[in-house]
Amino acid sequence: MAKVIALANQKGGVGKTTTAVNLGIGLATEGNRVLLLDADAQGNLTDSLGFHEPDNLPVSLATMLQKCMAEEAYDPEEGILQHHEGVDLMPGNIELSAVEVALVNTMSRETILRGYVDSVKDNYDYILIDCMPSMGMMTINALAAADSVIIPVQAHYLPAKGMTQLLQTVARVRRQINKKLVVEGVLLTMVDSRTNFAKDISFVLRRDYGDKLRVFQTEIPLSIRAAETSARGKSIYSHDPNGQVAKAYVSLTREVQGIGSERRQTRQHKADHSR
């Protein structure tokens, strides 16, 4: 059964979508079955994977959520697209805005996406949900459906205020809707290692949050090569395989997998001891 990870930060342009693409394809390259869910009405994830007109797709996440809200039956494989680098995609588009409005007046409005995710979970090892830059109903649905959340943070500014708000939301979701939700880690993105400022942010983040949260060892460097990938519809591994950003995403992939196996080992250890 899949591990479900949401990529969330209400701040825009911090690298959520870029991380969904490259962590997703990284995990698939390591032999995992991966589904990427585009839970953003901007459809950037869908676009970045080469489906450049998300609004013209006949079936998208909005379609599936509408079916879940109406309690209509569906085929769990319906609407899922394949990317040539080995990941599956449930695309997202502008119709998600209407769904987000409709959710407000729906019964179990926070857990509609969870219902959909549960129906496809058996087919994958990892499901990554790319959230929109807001703490609206779609993001709450993503947190309710997830096992953990990765918080990408841009190294250009001090993230303290936004982080506090986001962590409070995560804590509230954990208390009220989804007990198992944990923060997988905070990921520093667009790190310009030539500046002391980026080093300061990294230091402050690790100092202030390091004892409460995992701050990933991997930092994603700032590079124009990363910014170019979305227009080309491919990952950084095929666009610039020997570059620093590709190396960083390989390293992040290993960290995320390592976290998974560490937890499994701890659980196994506990299980062995309770026998």
Ligand X SMILES: Nc1ncnc2c1ncn2[C@@H]1O[C@H](COP(=O)(O)OP(=O)(O)OP(=O)(O)O)[C@@H](O)[C@H]1O
Q: What is the binding site for ligand X (CB under 6 A)?
A: 12-18, 40, 44, 133, 189-190, 220, 222-223, 226-227, 230, 245
Under the binding rule (CB under 5 A), the answer on residue 44 touching Mg ion is: yes
**Minimum separation from the CB atom of position 172 to ligand X (A):** 21
Under the binding rule (CB under 5 A), the answer on residue 46 touching Mg ion is: no
**Minimum separation from the CB atom of position 221 to ligand X (A):** 6
Q: Whose Cβ is closer to Mg ion: residue 69's or residue 90's?
A: 90
Report which residue's Cβ sits closest to Mg ion.
Answer: 17
What amino acid occupies position 155?
A
Residue 196, judged by CB atoms within 10 A of its CB (0-12, 13-18, 19+), counts as: exposed
**Minimum separation from the CB atom of position 77 to ligand X (A):** 26
**Minimum separation from the CB atom of position 60 to Mg ion (A):** 16
Q: Whose Cβ is closer to Mg ion: residue 132's or residue 201's?
A: 132
Q: What six digits make up the tokens of 105?
A: 């007046």
Judged by CB under 5 A, how many residues of this single chain contact Mg ion? Answer: 3
Q: Whose Cβ is closer to ligand X: residue 92's or residue 260's?
A: 92
Cα 260 from chain centroid? 15
Q: 69-91: b or e for each residue (b if 16 or more CB lie within 10 Å)? A: beeeeeeeeebbbebebbbbbbb
Under the binding rule (CB under 5 A), the answer on residue 11 touching Mg ion is: no
What amino acid occupies position 17?
T
Among 6, 8, 17, 37, binds Mg ion (CB under 5 A): 17
| Interatomic CA distance for residues 41 and 131, integer angstroms | 9
Residue 183 interacts with, from ligand X, Mg ion, none (CB under 5-8 Å by kind) = none
Under the binding rule (CB under 5 A), the answer on residue 239 touching Mg ion is: no
**Minimum separation from the CB atom of position 48 to ligand X (A):** 8
Give first-to-last CA distance, the chain, whole Å.
24
| Interatomic CA distance for residues 72 and 21, integer angstroms | 30
Under the binding rule (CB under 5 A), the answer on residue 16 touching Mg ion is: yes
The number of helix segments (H) and strand segments (E) in the chain equals 11, 8
| Interatomic CA distance for residues 187 and 218, integer angstroms | 7
The binding site for Mg ion (CB under 5 A) comprises 16-17, 44
